[in-house]
Amino acid sequence: MTAIADFITGLPKAELHLHIEGSLDPELAFDMAWRNGVQLGHPSIEALRAAYAFRNLQEFLDLYYQCMKVLRREQDFFDLTWAYLSKARDQGVRHAEIFFDPQAHTARGVTFDAVIEGIWAALRQAEAEWGLSSRLILCFLRHLDEASAFATLEESRPWRHCIAAVGLDSSEVGHPPSKFTRVFAKARAEGLPAVAHAGEEGPPAYVREALDLLQAVRIDHGNRALEDDDLVRRLVAAKIPLTVCPLSNLRLCVVDDLIHHPLKRMLDLGLMATVNSDDPAYFGGYVADNYLAVHKALGLGRGDLIRLARNSFEASFLDPAAKGRLMAEVDAYAAAWPVISPSGS
C-alpha cells in the first residue's frame, strides 16, 4: 500500500450511509443460497459478479432485491452484519450507522424479529469486542405505499430501543418524500429522527421536501442539491450533513467519471459532506476505498481527508461527548503521521 492508502485506512472514521443488505457479496450470497436451499438468479459467483454493470439506480435495485432473497434466518442477518463490521473495522471505521430494509424481508415471509435480532446481535458483539459503536436506521422502501410504511413502523414497536432513526430509500424518481410525510410525522412524534435519500437521481425539489416535509436531519447522497444555489446556502447554514457515496455514484452513473464527482465542490461550498460506501459489495469498495478513490480522482489532500473524517463523526447520531472524543482521535492520528509527499508514496 502507498503511504496515503495506509493513512486513509487507519484514519478513524464513521460510516453513515451503508445498506446492510448491500454488503452481501457474491461469496456469502452463494453460501447462504446453498445452506437455505434458495436458487439465485445467476449460476455462479463469476456470473453474478459479471452482472454488476448498472446503468442506473433501478438496474442495481433489481439485483439487490433478487440477491437478498438468500437472507432467511436470524443467523443469516448476523453473519451478513458481522462480515460487514469486520471489513469496516479493517478500514478504520470506529462508528457505523447502518440502514436496513425490513419491508424487503417481511414481504418474503421473513419475520421482523429474525432480521433485527440477527443484525442487533452482531452490532452488540462488535461493540463489546472491538469498541466499534453503531446505530440502526430503519428505512422505508419508497416504491411501496404509505400503508406498508405505516405497518412497518408499527411492526418495529417492540424494537424501538434498537432503532435510532428512520430513513427513506429505493427507487427515487416518481416517489418523492411527500409520499411519506405522514409516516415520518408519526415516527417523529414517537421520538425517531429522520434521514432520507434525496438528490441521488431525483431533483433538488426532493431534497427540499426531505427537509421541509420529513424534517430530515441528514440527506443521503444530495448530489443534485448543487443545481440549486439557494438550497446549497440553506444546507450550509443549517449544517445539514450529506452522506456522499462516490463509488456508488460512479457505478450507478450518477457521475460519468470520478474526476467529475462533486465532492470537492461540496467541501469548497462549505457543505458538511461525508464519504461512505452505500452498497460496498456491489460498488467496488468499502469506505476507505471510497476515500482513496476520491483522493486519486479529485486530488483531495490530507486536510480534506481529515475534514471528511471529522465530518463523519460530527454528522453522526453520537452524543456530543463521543463526537468530541472521536474527533480528537482523528486529530491525534493526523498529528502522528508524517506529512505525505504530493505523489502520495
Q: Which residues of the shown chain bind ligand HPA in the complex (CB under 6 A)?
A: 19, 22, 57, 64, 169-170, 197, 200, 248, 278-279
Query: Residue 31 carries which side chain, given as an amino acid letter?
Result: D
Inter-residue contact 11 to 295 (CB < 8 Å): no
Please count the helices (runs of H) and the strands (runs of E) in the chain.
Answer: 17, 8
Give catalytic status of residue 200 as yes or no: yes
CB of 196 to ligand HPA, least distance (A): 10
- 3-state DSSP assignment of residue 196: strand
Residue 257, all three cell numbers: 467519471
CB of 18 to Zn ion, least distance (A): 8
Nearer to ligand HPA, 4 or 110 (CB): 110
CB of 233 to ligand HPA, least distance (A): 25
CB of 220 to ligand HPA, least distance (A): 7
- State phi, psi for 15 to the nearest 5 degrees: -110, 125
The entry of Zn ion, ligand HPA, none that residue 206 binds, CB within 5 to 8 Å by partner kind: none
Tell me the β-bridge partners of 273: 242
- 3-state DSSP assignment of residue 259: helix
278 binds Zn ion (CB under 5 A): yes
Catalytic residue among 74, 97, 172, 200: 200
Tell me the β-bridge partners of 220: 197, 243
97 binds Zn ion (CB under 5 A): no
201 binds Zn ion (CB under 5 A): no
Nearer to ligand HPA, 78 or 283 (CB): 283
Tell me the β-bridge partners of 241: 272
Inter-residue contact 177 to 210 (CB < 8 Å): yes
Nearer to ligand HPA, 9 or 23 (CB): 23
Nearer to Zn ion, 25 or 74 (CB): 25
CB of 34 to Zn ion, least distance (A): 28
How many residues contact Zn ion, by CB under 5 A?
A: 1
Distance, CA of 89 to CA of 131 (rounded, Å): 10
Distance, CA of 231 to CA of 79 (rounded, Å): 41
Residue 202, all three cell numbers: 431525483
Nearer to ligand HPA, 48 or 250 (CB): 250
Inter-residue contact 38 to 110 (CB < 8 Å): no
| Stretch of residues binding Zn ion (CB under 5 A), selected from 66-74, 274-282, 289-297, 333-341 | 274-282
Residue in the shown chain whose Cβ atom is closest to ligand HPA: 169
The entry of ligand HPA, Zn ion, none that residue 57 binds, CB within 5 to 8 Å by partner kind: ligand HPA
The entry of ligand HPA, Zn ion, none that residue 142 binds, CB within 5 to 8 Å by partner kind: none
The entry of ligand HPA, Zn ion, none that residue 76 binds, CB within 5 to 8 Å by partner kind: none
| Stretch of residues binding Zn ion (CB under 5 A), selected from 178-186, 277-285, 317-325, 327-335 | 277-285
Q: Locate cell 475534514: which residue?
A: 307
- 3-state DSSP assignment of residue 90: helix
Residue count of the chain: 345
The entry of Zn ion, ligand HPA, none that residue 184 binds, CB within 5 to 8 Å by partner kind: none
Distances (CA, A) of 196 to 73, 185, 264, 276, 281: 28, 13, 22, 15, 22
Residue 36, all three cell numbers: 437455505
CB of 169 to ligand HPA, least distance (A): 4
The entry of Zn ion, ligand HPA, none that residue 302 binds, CB within 5 to 8 Å by partner kind: none
Distance, CA of 134 to CA of 124 (rounded, Å): 8
Which residues would be at the binding site for Zn ion (CB under 5 A)?
278
* Residues taking part in catalysis: 200
